[in-house]
Chain A
């Protein structure tokens, strides 16, 4: 079974700074998808970014980018120019072929 590990339960960053959230996963598959989801206090699950394993290039969505290291099975999320609205839980997720497997999440607080 695939497992997803987020080793940082809580993180804090000042507004306008850059923060990196870590995620590692375990799988024997060669082709798969990885996701980062944001969950603000509203509880809604919002897709931040996705990465296809067979693509070498790291995915980028505006201020959000990933550092995908396939050999190391690492998938970290970098948030640049942090904003107060980035305060949320962030979940790393692995697509197992039939559903998403989630990590336990990282609670990110952006302070003024």
Chain B
């Protein structure tokens, strides 16, 4: 089925460990996004990539890095995980124009202990 695939779905990390969240879309979308969702906070934008080869900071970029590997893939890396990064992470993609809407992955629940 066409859509956005995120891996892993669940992860537990120890403080200071690093990991990469993977995201891939097969809809030939230009733009991709990483959000985090915390209780009572809605979804907040971490980083986005308007097109292959470009990335920009969102509202809450501190502690994260991203890579737009190619048009399909957009990864999010935590270099040194902290408990404050415990959250649900969503990847999304869009064709680049709002009229076409956004497609979301199923999310990654990350716990940092």
Residues of A within 8 A of B90 (CB): 45
User: Does B44 count as interface, using CB distance less than 8 angstroms?
Assistant: yes
B102, A104: Cβ atoms closer than 8 Å: no
Main SS at interface, chain A: loop
A102, B99: Cβ atoms closer than 8 Å: no
Residues of B within 8 A of A95 (CB): 98
Question: What class of interface size applies to chain A in its complex with B?
Answer: 20 to 34
- Known contacts: A103-B42, A105-B42. The answer to whether A32 contacts B88 by CB under 8 A is no
Task: Report the separation of the CA atoms of residues A95 and B101 in the bound assembly, to the nearest whole angstrom.
Answer: 9
- Known contacts: A44-B104, A98-B48. The answer to whether A91 contacts B33 by CB under 8 A is no
What total of A-B pairs shows CB separation below 8 Å?
52
Residues 98-113 (chain B) with a chain A CB within 8 angstroms = 98-99, 101-102, 104, 106-107, 109
Residues of A within 8 A of B56 (CB): 98
Residues 30-87 (chain A) with a chain B CB within 8 angstroms = 32-33, 35, 42-45, 47, 50, 52
B44, A99: Cβ atoms closer than 8 Å: no
Task: Report the separation of the CA atoms of residues A4 and B98 in the bound assembly, to the nearest whole angstrom.
Answer: 17
A99, B58: Cβ atoms closer than 8 Å: yes
Residues of B within 8 A of A35 (CB): 101-102
Sort A-B residue pairs by CB-CB distance and give the 3 closest, nearest first. A33-B98, A45-B104, A95-B98
Q: Which residues of A contact B (CB under 8 A)?
A: 4, 6, 9, 32-33, 35, 42-45, 47, 50, 52, 91, 95, 97-105
Q: Which residues of B contact A (CB under 8 A)?
A: 31, 33, 35, 40-45, 48, 50, 56, 58, 88, 90, 92, 98-99, 101-102, 104, 106-107, 109
9 new A-B contacts at CB < 8 Å, known A6-B42, A47-B101, A47-B102: A33-B98, A44-B106, A91-B42, A97-B98, A99-B48, A100-B43, A100-B45, A102-B44, A104-B40
